[in-house]
Amino acid sequence: MAEDWLLTIWSDDRTDLWHGEARRLRATLNAISAGVRAHYGEPLTWRSEDLDADGWRDLDRLAALLDGDQLRDDVGTIMKGGGANGTVQGYLGDRLQNMTNMQYGAGSDQTPFHCTVHFYAGEPERGARPLNEHPAAWLVQLLAETAQATGDNVSLARIHTNRLSRLLRRVRPLSTIGAMTLAPATVDTAALPASITVYPCPSLPDRVVLAANLTQVTSDPESVVADLIAAEDAINQSVRG
């Protein structure tokens, strides 16, 4: 069975609560939907248990949803600065099962916005294809444009699989690199292993995407771990400057 894959974004940009967060969340969903449409020929329709598709397009209703989903303590009191968490599903065309599931957090003092979008490649009826069956250029665009939608100050943006992430964390427990990772354009390419490909980001000229061999990521993820750890070292060095 094909392995599912995930898109994860963390942004440190702060916005107004809760309409600012609603606009950011909607912009993120729009970027993902546009990316899916470019490759799959159809956009995603977003809906959840709490809001239908029209509700997810209505910023007032979305802001109210976020407001109501704020983190609360055991007696129901809103925890100031805790933010709001939720999930939303994306449906491709007229399919009855969702292609994606997004888990998001918005408005937290610690992490203003983050999301992980799960693409269900292991179940063909949902519509998603395995990671390595997508053109690298499309994955780069999906990663960069989704990151751009969340704000200017993106601290993490990667495409990965759970299996690859587990293998990386065995070597480096706090590793955040993925099969494809948004990195500063100042990264020292000479320090990168030959297996790591560097892609420019036209929409984010100060960033590049570092990518492992996606066929190996899919079939033998353990074989790319050492090179990805070396690539993460190069990213960290460029950040420290």
Tokens of 155: 């601290």
On whether both 150 and 211 belong to a single domain, the answer is no
Tens-binned pLDDT, residue by residue, of the chain (241 aa): 799 999 999 999 999 999 999 999 999 999 999 999 999 999 999 999 999 999 999 999 999 999 999 999 888 889 889 999 999 999 999 999 999 999 999 999 999 999 999 999 999 999 999 999 999 999 999 999 999 999 999 999 999 999 999 999 999 999 999 999 999 999 999 999 999 999 999 889 999 999 999 999 999 999 999 999 999 999 999 988 6
On whether both 175 and 240 belong to a single domain, the answer is yes
On whether both 139 and 241 belong to a single domain, the answer is no
On whether both 126 and 175 belong to a single domain, the answer is no
pLDDT (tens digit per residue) in 69-87: 999 988 888 988 999 999 9
Q: Count CB-CB contacts under 10 A for residue 80.
A: 8
CA proximity to 8, closest of 141, 143, 209: 143
Query: What whole-number distance in Å separates Cα of residue 193 and Cα of residue 227?
Result: 6
On whether both 148 and 241 belong to a single domain, the answer is no
Domain span holding position 72: 1-160
Number of domains in the chain: 2
> Of 121, 137, 160, which closes a domain?
160
On whether both 33 and 125 belong to a single domain, the answer is yes
Query: What whole-number distance in Å separates Cα of residue 46 and Cα of residue 101?
Result: 9
Residues recorded for the chain: 241
CA proximity to 195, closest of 166, 171, 167, 220: 220
Element (H, E) at 38: helix 19-40
CA dihedral 21, 154, 26, 164 (to 10 degrees): -120
On whether both 83 and 194 belong to a single domain, the answer is no
On whether both 14 and 24 belong to a single domain, the answer is yes
On whether both 143 and 179 belong to a single domain, the answer is no
Residue type, 96: L
> Of 134, 160, 186, which closes a domain?
160
On whether both 78 and 63 belong to a single domain, the answer is yes
> Of 103, 133, 160, which closes a domain?
160
On whether both 76 and 119 belong to a single domain, the answer is yes
HSE-CB of 190 using CA atoms within 13 angstroms: 0
On whether both 44 and 98 belong to a single domain, the answer is yes
Tokens of 165: 């992430």
